[in-house]
Structure 1
Amino acid sequence: MTKEETSIPSGKPKTSPSLLGAAGLVQQFDPIDAARPSKSLFPLRENEPEYALLKDPETQEHNRYGDRIALIDLVDEAVSLNINGVSEVGINPNRNKQHAFHFTADNCIGCHACESACSEKNDLPPHLSFRSVGYVEGGTFPNYTRMNISMACNHCDDPVCLKGCPTRAYTKHEEYGAVIQDPDICFGCGYCTWVCPYNAPQLDPVAGQVEKCNMCVDRLEVGLKPACVSACLGNALNFGVVENTPENRQQIDTRIPGFPDPEITHPNIRFQQTKSMPREVTRTDSMPVKYRRDDKAGHYRPAVDQKAGTARHWNLGRLYSRENPLVLFTLASQAGIGLFVLSFVGALAGVSFLQGAAGSAITATAAFLAAALAAFGLLMSTTHLGKPLRFYRGFNNLRHSPMAREGAGIAAFLAFAGLHWLALMGQSSWLIETLPALANMQPVLGTATAVSGWFAMAGAAVGLYYMMRCYLIKARPFWNHGQTATAFVGASAYLGALVLGAVAVVFAGPASAALEFCAVAMGVGLIIEGLGLWVHARQMFAADHEGGVSHYVQRTTFGYTWMARNALLGLAAVGLVSAPLWLDMAAALPVLVAMALMAILVALVGRALFYILVIPTTMPGAFFWKNKAFEDHARDIGLADMPQVGVAPHAH
């Protein structure tokens, strides 16, 4: 969100007195005694309790990560946040310093008052919550211990949501260090919800956009702590300049059981938890994750919780997910890229079936189909958006977002592959006979063919590379592995070769040279993906993070589906690579078609599993709230149609 307009809900009081101060420094900050202009940043009452007021008389210069707490050098004139159309500037002397939440876990009673205050203040629908309270528990009777965790956005020093967002809907403000998101700019891709380790951005499937905690900057401007802090009954939440220890507190730690690795984003939250906890604590939501104390590291690490047992299942119906459009987008785009690369490079390398009149027809058709597959993929990615008509905003953050660069690369590939097809068509004999003027343009068309082909190759390389980078996310360890690259490159090879083989059969018949080339290329692609899967499975099996948990789900909930996919992949790979050795290629078309169908099934099931299995580094939920199993159950039986349940039905 830009500083031109920061819209923060602030309720609808009958009167709206406010504190608005002049720019500059003050030694003592007393919001109650400050002047009150007529227009309101946030309504400030005469009898505000002391616990609701900001108090930071002294601050440090740097935080524990070495970053400056003062986000900008002090200047003579402060800058307005323009909250709710008000151009005044708050007089808090620390407004340009990084602020942070402080959570004392020992004090939290799990009353959810912080959630309620946040939802009321921000006028949230029942299925959204910027702040959530979950818990972990462990031990044995009578020493069974429960620890509640209240979590919202941590307004990180290195906000990965800001870097990942393709629309530039996020802004890290110098005022209070708040990371503010503008839902009006957001087009609802949900990528920020993937990269955030703390599940802070909330995707609203009804409104088709993401929203998140805004640090209540309107309250901060008038000297009040955020609404959740003021509403906390157990005095568990506090707020102030980062690295300042609140009154009556001793600790400002960055770790707590159930909290993801703070090194990912350097979050601005500090903890106190002095009561002893069991060596191992579990979650009560459906996520098969538990946390085990690492004595050497001095904190808890995630581990697999085999709460669902070890039995294998098929669960084919559960392969359907909100990410199905991305399944089609990635597979179609990769097929188009592989098809174009094989035909273009093969023609340049002198591959026999790509030469002559039949070869020209094959390469022209391959270029057209490559562009068509890329166009279909982009269409599918657009349908995945909450606001599909705002797709053009996906290129706003080319500087930082791999998703924006992925889209730009695929779009460039589509454009130049289309131009390449047009240039090839301009050189076809039948079109020259129809349009004789083309005969004089052959040198130009020849140059255009080469130039557009190489530019399409460059677009394909950029698109495929950043497609892989989109999934190398620290907050999703199952994806953050080289297997993502082998899966995408392998799929490009075998799906592209499959389409090229089909085109070759149409224009050249079941010629042995074409089928041998495409069969071997498909087999190599399948082997690349298979090797990546084998290494990935071995490493995830031994992993002590959420990637290992995802692999546990893969081996159990989808165990038979996973094994069947692996078996089909191995059979198809070996069969296709060795086909020229044991098959008469001219008469082996039915066998090759069967193997090609197996490869398509491998691609679809494997890519669906890719999206279904990933488990993020998120905060613990509870039996109902923030419990994926309950959310799925509510949607299955119709409870999600009742707003009071707090679960939104699937939009698409």
Structure 2
Amino acid sequence: MSRTTIEGATELVSPKDGDVGVYMPEKTTKAASNQPEVEQEQKGRSNHWEVRTQEQAYAYLPEPDPGNKSEIENRYGKRIDLVELTDNPAGRSLFINGNPEVGTNRDRNKQHGFFFTADNCIGCHACESACSEKNDNPAHLAFRSVGYVEGGSYPDYKRMNISMACNHCDDPVCLKGCPTRAYTKHAEYGAVLQDPETCFGCGYCTWVCPYNAPQLDPVQGRVSKCNMCVDRLEVGLKPACVSACVGNALDFGVIENTPENREQCKTSIPGFPSPEITQPNIRFQQTKSLPEEMSRTDDMPVKYRKGSDGQYKPVVDQKNGKKMHWNLPKLNSRENPLVLFTLLVQAALGTFIIPFSGALLGVESFKQFMASNLFLPLVLLSLGMTSMGLFMSVTHLGRPFRFYRGFNNLRYSPMSREGLGLALFSAFLGLTALLLAPSNIGVNTMLASLGLGLESELSSLVATLPLESVVVITGLLASASGLAGLYYMNQCYQIKARPFWNHWQTATSFVGNSLSLGAMVSGVVMLISLGVESLPLQGAMESYGAVFLVGLVIEAVGLWGHNRTLNRSEDEGGAAHYIQCTTFGKTYQLRNALLAVNILAASGLLIFGGFFEVSESLANQSIVDESVYLIVWASLSLINLVTVVIGRALFYNLVIPTTMPGAFFWKNKGFEQHARDIGLADNPATGVAPLAH
């Protein structure tokens, strides 16, 4: 396939050339009794989709009107006619199910989109049923969903239904985020298509999409979504959901072309996330008056209030009151592997980089430690934590044995770049360990005990090669790769569709945890070195204490800024903070209190010379003082460990996406949890997916 790019952001794919000249069906109905004529017409059609003999006229795409001059650009400034942006505009085939035939719709290379008239939607779910039937979806998946918002008071109580699927956006964040490159935006119809067979089930596209369009199937371990029914479009039919709509609420065609008998072509309605996130190709009509405030019937604490400009904006709906709870069991979630992955990798980065950079900066105790036999175990410990973290991230995938596909989208995806950075960090750590092995007494002693005679060869290798200089180079490469991985780890969570994460506090949390956990782990290794080699610990332990404190302060500053921002926020980020202060209120306070205690304790030790005195006592081999110091350091480390685990679990459990409203039962996280608790979810017809990934 040849690929072109729209403004350097979105890939348009031109499929392989196919046959041209496929006859498209006329918009007429034929009697079933007239079978010879029907069969003759069917022979000339593309067989992407079998057209029924009595297809209604409303099911066909509108014919291009030569007298109607279409817009050149849509309201976001993107071209509607995509044919000039492709390499070979004539006769490309989409190869749907391997079929090389090509449709002859003259608007085939124009951006198409859905048109939803909220005034007409009666909430019958016929569009959902037609879509699921065509795509053979299980009960717990729906490419198109109908939710609703409601408001007012009796007798003037109103409900507005919203039917939503993939909007085939001009700026598809799913395409940019997917690490496996399973998404493609085609020049044909402007369709954003996804290949479930390429997907390895990370679910990142479900995070970044504001409309809940990509659907992660925990049973199959992969994502799939609306494909715009391109097989139907190739034979001139509208998508299945549009053809099935009972109330004439859904329509489809070239974007910005207002359908017949419609008077509006808006980009947003109440409950629809900001179109500026992805520039979606859907337009709305909603002319009936609505109350000033519209509520969701699902458990999400968000409602919508009309502003002075007439637009509805999200506000926090404190539907569960303000009572604080612990809810510690609810911290256990399907994201547990990611909790362990991020904490282990961040701890590994700090464990290696802190003493290594200290040695390069000329701190004498770190220089001696790097030259000692304990530096190799520290490198191996960092490598082990990174490897375990990467393993945990793989277990989070729906198809873990396809993890290697995570590097397919280095051009766009921060996940791919994060994975590459951490993989290189591991590789350079391993290389550093290999270079340190020849000069390590422990390694030589072990080889001597094996009686293989390799220790003499290692000694000659150390004498002939400048291993110390090479170790510095590999260490620098490992540090640079690890920091790049940490940077893109932060970028993975800077998601506009998840305001709770889209804040600089995410970066301060990751950096602060890396410093505090790294100082904690490498400090333990430094203490162990006391019993192995006589090293000056005074400067090192003071440095570790300072780094430990800096990491805690950085995290605390980020939390303060996050709390300050979300307290004034009325979007989904503010709603997540409301849950944080109520559903998990006591747990949230415990985390903050533990962090404050740790900061005060570490500050006291540094200010009043605790680290200096204890280090000096350790140098004099005072058993009593050593025990006291170990107890103090272990206490600080344990408090920090509990703090970061609670904080990271809250990080994953609290986030509320800017997704579409659900119904009281369908697409309602609260009902899904209730169904699991009482066993109703065991009935597949309930439509609640099992807790698996």
Provide the secondary structure at the position in 1 that maps to 2:43. coil
Tell me which moved more, 324-333 or 45-54. 45-54
Match of 1:563? 589
* Residues 177, 415 of structure 2: 8 Å contact kept: yes
Aligned-residue CA RMSD (Å): 2.1
Provide the secondary structure at the position in 1 that maps to 2:498. coil
TM-score, structure 1 as length reference: 0.94
Tell me which moved more, 422-431 or 463-472. 422-431
Cα distance change of structure 1 residues 200 and 76 upon mapping to structure 2, 3 Å threshold: closer
Q: Distance in 1 between matches of 2:21 and 2:80?
A: 18
Give how far 1:349 is off: 2.4
Give how far 1:368 is off: 1.0
Cα distance change of structure 1 residues 68 and 56 upon mapping to structure 2, 3 Å threshold: farther
What letter corresponds to residue 558 of structure 2 in structure 1? G
Match of 1:11? none
Match of 1:477? 499
Q: Distance in 2 between matches of 1:100 and 1:270?
A: 8
Q: Distance in 1 between matches of 2:51 and 2:359?
A: 74
Q: Distance in 1 between matches of 2:2 and 2:245?
A: 31
Match of 2:12? none
Match of 2:407? 395
Q: Deviations over 1:200-238 (max 9, x none)?
A: 000000000001000000000000000000111111000
Matches within 5 A, 1:16-35: 23=20, 30=26
- The reply on whether 1:609 has 2:621 as its aligned counterpart is no
Give how far 1:274 is off: 0.1
* Residues 522, 573 of structure 1: 8 Å contact kept: no
Match of 2:526? 504
Provide the secondary structure at the position in 1 that maps to 2:374. helix
Q: Distance in 2 between matches of 1:277 and 1:611?
A: 35
Q: Distance in 2 between matches of 1:578 and 1:419?
A: 40
Give how far 1:444 is off: 3.6
Match of 1:533 among 559, 564, 568: 559
* Residues 167, 396 of structure 1: 8 Å contact kept: yes
Give how far 1:35 is off: 6.1
Q: Distance in 2 between matches of 1:201 and 1:2?
A: 25
Match of 2:685? 644
Match of 2:33? none
Match of 1:15? none
- The reply on whether 1:350 has 2:362 as its aligned counterpart is yes
Q: Distance in 2 between matches of 1:76 and 1:521?
A: 60
- The reply on whether 1:294 has 2:307 as its aligned counterpart is yes
* Residues 354, 360 of structure 1: 8 Å contact kept: no
Give how far 1:512 is off: 4.2
Matches within 5 A, 1:239-250: 239-250=252-263
Give how far 1:76 is off: 6.6
Provide the secondary structure at the position in 2 that maps to 1:410. helix
Match of 2:602? 576
Give how far 1:309 is off: 0.3
What letter corresponds to residue 491 of structure 2 in structure 1? R
| Residues matched between the structures, number | 633
Provide the secondary structure at the position in 2 that maps to 1:222. coil
Q: Distance in 2 between matches of 1:163 and 1:358?
A: 41
Tell me which moved more, 31-40 or 263-272. 31-40
TM-score, structure 2 as length reference: 0.88
Match of 2:389 among 377, 380, 402: 377
Q: Deviations over 1:338-362 (max 9, x none)?
A: 1111021112223343343785233
Provide the secondary structure at the position in 1 that maps to 2:295. strand
What letter corresponds to residue 525 of structure 2 in structure 1? V
Provide the secondary structure at the position in 2 that maps to 1:107. coil
For structure 2, the residue ranges without an aligned partner over 5 or more in a row are 4-17, 29-37, 449-454, 618-624
Provide the secondary structure at the position in 1 that maps to 2:326. coil
- The reply on whether 1:41 has 2:43 as its aligned counterpart is no
Match of 2:337 among 320, 325, 339: 325
Give how far 1:589 is off: 2.2
Provide the secondary structure at the position in 2 that maps to 1:426. helix
* Residues 523, 574 of structure 1: 8 Å contact kept: no
* Residues 19, 93 of structure 2: 8 Å contact kept: no
Provide the secondary structure at the position in 1 that maps to 2:156. coil
Q: Deviations over 1:569-627 (max 9, x none)?
A: 01102211331333342433212211110000011000000000000000000111000
Q: Distance in 2 between matches of 1:357 and 1:308?
A: 55
Provide the secondary structure at the position in 1 that maps to 2:337. helix
- The reply on whether 1:416 has 2:428 as its aligned counterpart is yes
Identity of aligned residues (%): 59
* Residues 229, 238 of structure 1: 8 Å contact kept: yes
Q: Distance in 2 between matches of 1:89 and 1:572?
A: 67
Give how far 1:429 is off: 4.0
- The reply on whether 1:63 has 2:88 as its aligned counterpart is no
Match of 1:185? 198
Provide the secondary structure at the position in 1 that maps to 2:544. helix
Tell me which moved more, 359-368 or 78-87. 359-368
* Residues 343, 363 of structure 1: 8 Å contact kept: no
Q: Distance in 1 between matches of 2:491 and 2:416?
A: 11
Match of 2:319? 307
Provide the secondary structure at the position in 1 that maps to 2:134. helix
* Residues 252, 272 of structure 1: 8 Å contact kept: yes
Q: Distance in 2 between matches of 1:116 and 1:487?
A: 44
Tell me which moved more, 73-82 or 340-349. 73-82
Matches within 5 A, 1:208-223: 208-223=221-236
What letter corresponds to residue 91 of structure 1 in structure 2? T
Provide the secondary structure at the position in 2 that maps to 1:84. coil
Match of 1:257 among 267, 270, 273: 270
Match of 1:438? 458
Cα distance change of structure 1 residues 502 and 78 upon mapping to structure 2, 3 Å threshold: same
What letter corresponds to residue 50 of structure 2 in structure 1? P
* Residues 233, 239 of structure 2: 8 Å contact kept: yes
* Residues 22, 90 of structure 1: 8 Å contact kept: no
What letter corresponds to residue 333 of structure 1 in structure 2? V
Tell me which moved more, 66-75 or 493-502. 66-75
Q: Distance in 2 between matches of 1:516 and 1:461?
A: 24
Match of 1:13? none
For structure 1, the residue ranges without an aligned partner over 5 or more in a row are 4-20
Q: Distance in 1 between matches of 2:343 and 2:144?
A: 36
